[in-house]
Structure 1
Amino acid sequence: MDYVNVPDTPARKGKLCRLVVVSLGLLCILQVILSISLRLALYSKTAKNLTEEENSLKRKLNVFDLYTQQGWVYFGGSFYYISPFKKSWSDSREDCLQRGADLVIISSREEQNFIRQFRGYIWIGLTDTEEEGTWKWVDGTVLNKRFWETGEPNTFGGTDEDCGEVKPREEENNWNDTHCENENYWICEKIVDL
Structure 2
Amino acid sequence: MAALQLELFNKERGELKEQLDLCASQQTSLLEERDELKKKLDDFIYYSQQQWVYLGGSFYYISSNKRTWQQSRDYCLQKRADLIIVNSKEEQTLTRQWQDNMWIGLTDREKEGTWKWVDGTPLITSYWGINEPNSFGNREEDCGEVRLHKFENNWNDESCDVQRVWICEKKLPQ
TM-score, normalised via structure 1 length: 0.67
Unaligned stretches of 5+ residues in structure 2: 1-32
Query: 1:158 corresponds to which letter in structure 2?
Result: N
Cα RMSD, aligned residues only: 2.0
Instruction: Find 1:99's aligned residue among 76, 79, 86.
Output: 79
Counterpart pick for 2:54 among 58, 74, 91: 74
Assess if the C-alpha contact under 8 Å between 2:66 and 2:166 holds in 1.
yes
- 1:74 aligned counterpart, secondary structure: strand
Mapped to 2, the partners of 1:172 and 1:160 lie a distance apart of: 25
CA distance in structure 2 between the aligned counterparts of 1:172 and 1:127, rounded to whole angstroms: 20
The corresponding residue for 1:134 is 114
3-state SS of paired residue (1:165): strand
Larger radius of gyration: 1
Distance 1:121 1:109 in 2: 18
**How many percent of aligned residue pairs carry the same amino acid?**
56
**Pairs within 5 Å for 1:3-152:** 63-152=43-132
Moved over 6 A (4+): none
Aligned partner letter, 1:80: Y
How many residues end up aligned between the 2 structures?
A: 141
Greater relative contact order (Cα < 8 A, sep 6+):
2
Q: Is the 8 A contact 2:68 2:164 kept in 1?
A: yes
Deviations 1:34-78 (A, max 9, x none): xxxxxxxxxxxxxxxxxx99xx6x876654332121121101110
CA distance, structure 2, for counterparts of residue 63 and residue 140 of structure 1: 24
Q: CA deviation at 1:192?
A: 1.3
Indicate whether 1:179 and 2:159 are aligned.
yes
Flag structure 1 segments of 5+ consecutive residues without an equivalent. 1-51
